[in-house]
Every structure is written in structure tokens, then in C-alpha cells.
């Protein structure tokens, strides 16, 4: 029941991008350095975000990535689902229609549990917008003294 590094690193990367954007594209190498994430691995994470329409890539020198939408319109749920796949606790047809149907659906009792968990997770993450995290980030950084430190080696 844990998120993988895809979700953890990836959300941090998007917040970093949103915070450090200034009309120009942000190079992944900068995000990788600030966040202490390997560039090669970060590329793979950002590829998922791009595919989901959350960021746009700009190729060539001085290129980088930009948000595809205003931060107010991107939910944490959008970001985490792009990175992790569905946030349901089980692969169950009744919950995620992409899964294969289940023989025992009619007498399955636990599916009610999985549905409640799934809905509560999705409601929670869809209620937080990227802009909320950007605002919070600016606030805590101001308090901490504006030093743009590396966040390497953090556990979450």
C-alpha cells in the first residue's frame, strides 16, 4: 500500500517545475539536481506526465519542460495517476473498468471495502491542486530563509 518512487519523485519534480518556472522552460537537469534525482530516471517519470498532458516538452538547446496548464487546473490526483497508474488498492473490474472481469463478483464482499478505499484516496488527491502546493512551497521556503537547498535523500 505504498507509492513507488515514481509517485514520490514525480510529484516533487512537478512542484519543483511549477515553483521554478519563469516564462522559460525548465531543464530536467536542473530539477534533477535540486531534487537529488537521477536525470535518466527523471526523464522516464516526466515522459508519463507528458503523455498525460500535464507538461509539455520543448526540445533543443535552452529547451526544457513547462506546465501544459495553469497550476490551478492540475490536481495532485492527475499527477499521481499519471505517474502510478490508477490509485485503487486492487485490480478489480468493478472499480477500474480497465481490469478483467471477476468470476466471483456476485458473491464478493470485499469489493465494497476496496471501492470505499479507492474513492477516498481519489477524493483526497483530487481535492488538492498543484497551485496549493506551490503556494505552500513558497511559504515554507520564505520561512526557512529563501535558501533554495537540495532536497536530496529525503525519504518521501
We find the least distance from the C-beta atom of residue 31 to DNA, in angstroms, to be: 8
Torsion of CA 11, 95, 72, 18, to 10 degrees: 10
Quick one: cell of 81?
Answer: 495517476
Is residue 54 close enough to count as binding DNA by CB under 7 A?
Answer: no
Residues contacting residue 149 through CB under 8 Å, at least 6 positions apart: none
Q: Identify the residue whose cell numbers are 486492487.
A: 90
Only one of the segments 27-35, 74-82, 99-107, 143-151 lies at the binding site for DNA (rule: CB under 7 A); that segment is 27-35
Count the alpha carbons within 13 Å of 115 in the hemisphere toward its beta carbon: 10
Please, are residues 76 and 11 in contact by the beta-carbon 8 Å criterion? yes
Does residue 62 bind DNA (CB under 7 A)? yes
Q: Which of 19, 25, 76, 133 binds DNA (CB under 7 A)?
A: 25
Among DNA, a second copy, none, the one that 112 touches (CB under a kind-dependent 5 to 8 A) is a second copy
User: Which residue number, 47 or 124, has a Cβ lying nearer to a second copy?
Assistant: 124
Taking the least distance from each CB to DNA, the nearer of 6 and 115 is: 6
**Distance from the Cα of residue 113 to its chain's centroid:** 25
Which residues are at the interface with DNA (CB under 7 A)? 4-6, 9, 25-29, 38, 40-41, 43-44, 46-47, 50, 57-65
Amino acid at each position: 500500500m505504498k507509492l513507488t518512487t515514481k509517485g514520490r519523485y514525480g510529484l516533487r519534480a512537478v512542484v519543483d517545475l511549477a515553483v521554478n518556472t519563469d516564462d522559460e522552460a525548465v531543464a530536467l537537469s536542473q530539477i534533477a539536481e535540486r531534487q537529488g534525482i537521477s536525470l535518466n530516471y527523471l526523464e522516464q517519470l516526466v515522459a508519463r506526465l507528458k503523455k498525460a498532458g500535464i507538461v509539455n516538452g520543448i526540445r533543443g538547446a535552452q529547451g526544457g519542460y513547462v506546465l501544459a496548464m495553469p497550476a490551478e487546473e492540475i490536481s495532485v490526483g492527475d499527477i499521481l495517476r499519471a505517474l502510478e497508474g490508477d490509485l485503487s488498492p486492487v485490480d478489480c473490474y468493478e472499480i477500474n473498468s480497465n481490469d478483467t472481469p471477476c468470476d466471483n463478483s456476485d458473491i464478493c464482499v470485499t469489493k465494497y471495502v476496496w471501492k470505499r478505499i479507492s474513492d477516498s484516496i481519489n477524493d483526497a488527491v483530487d481535492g488538492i491542486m498543484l497551485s496549493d502546493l506551490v503556494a505552500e512551497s513558497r511559504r515554507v521556503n520564505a520561512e526557512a530563509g529563501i535558501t533554495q537547498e537540495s532536497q536530496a535523500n529525503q525519504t518521501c
